[in-house]
């Protein structure tokens, strides 16, 4: 199980790249660095396990079954994921399924886009004297949804950094929830779309205006949203 990093194919780990080169089968996500597949020998079977938001999706049990079937057939299987497999990547679900089927798994951590995408956009998620805490939050369900496990009231009271993943479609709802819970409307926000890739695009705004600014800029997934004073920091340009 290999974390492919945030998008730039050069940001996969050395170990991840070495194991990928040994693969007989690669089961790959949409957000994994697809350019790495071009380096594979012709005999390697590529299985597309893309999870496209609001579109075609490979059910998790189908992915689990695919991994197990190929592995038990004696093939060297690489599950190539974007970012880090255990940061909202369902990696541990797949490990548990393999463990139940007696399939041994090696986990290769990856560089998560939660921190690396902001970094390449000159947004530090911590900074001395500015932020002493970072919370990474999944935005796949909105505030108030009965499925949500996020304490938005607590996030509104804290003064540090909130990194919001998978939150583009509902960015206005998340911003409103934080303001309602106590965050000032002028709290800086930075949204980084397609971080670390040639298509990278950044919008800087505030909680009060991010919904309209993101819509005007045409921000689409995948994007990482950084909320907090660190999002207002920027190096001086020569």
Catalytic-residue membership of 81: no
Evaluate whether 44 touches 24 at the Cβ level (below 8 Å).
Answer: yes
Residue 184 CA: distances (Å) to CA of 9, 44, 138, 204, 211: 38, 52, 21, 16, 15
Q: Which of 8, 166, 176, 194 is catalytic?
A: 166
Which sign does the torsion angle of CA 195, 85, 207, 171 carry? Answer: positive
Catalytic-residue membership of 24: no
Q: Which of 24, 51, 158, 213 is catalytic?
A: 51
Residue 21 CA: distances (Å) to CA of 62, 117, 118, 174: 24, 26, 29, 41
Helix axes 210-217, 171-180, angle to 10 degrees: 170
Tell me the Ramachandran region of residue 107: left when phi exceeds 0, alpha when psi lies from -120 to 50, beta otherwise.
beta
Q: Token pair of 188, please?
A: 């800086």
Q: Which of 1, 8, 29, 81 is catalytic?
A: 29
Catalytic-residue membership of 166: yes
123: DSSP letter: -
Q: Token match 């500015």: residue?
A: 130
Residues assigned a catalytic role: 29, 51, 166
């Amino acid at each position: 199980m290999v974390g492919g990093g945030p998008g730039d194919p050069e940001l996969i780990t050395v170990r991840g790249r070495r194991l990928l080169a040994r693969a007989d089968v690669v089961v790959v996500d949409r957000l994994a660095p697809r350019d790495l597949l071009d380096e594979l020998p012709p005999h390697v079977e590529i299985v597309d396990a893309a999870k496209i938001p609001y579109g075609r999706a490979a059910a998790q049990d189908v992915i689990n079954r695919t991994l197990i079937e190929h592995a038990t057939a004696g093939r060297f299987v690489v599950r190539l994921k974007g970012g880090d497999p255990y940061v909202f990547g369902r990696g541990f679900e797949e490990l548990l399924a393999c463990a139940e089927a007696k399939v041994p798994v090696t986990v290769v951590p990856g560089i998560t886009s939660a921190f690396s995408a902001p970094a390449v956009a000159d947004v530090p998620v911590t900074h001395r004297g500015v932020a002493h805490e970072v919370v990474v939050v999944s935005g796949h369900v909105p505030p108030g949804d009965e499925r949500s496990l996020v304490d938005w009231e607590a996030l509104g009271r804290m003064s540090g950094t909130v990194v919001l993943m998978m939150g583009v479609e509902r960015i206005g709802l998340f911003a409103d929830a934080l303001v309602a819970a106590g965050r000032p409307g002028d709290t800086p926000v930075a949204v980084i779309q397609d971080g670390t890739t040639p298509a990278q695009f950044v919008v800087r705004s505030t909680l009060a205006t991010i919904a309209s600014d993101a819509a005007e800029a045409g921000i689409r997934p995948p994007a990482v949203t950084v909320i907090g004073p660190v999002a207002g920091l920027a190096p001086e340009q020569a």
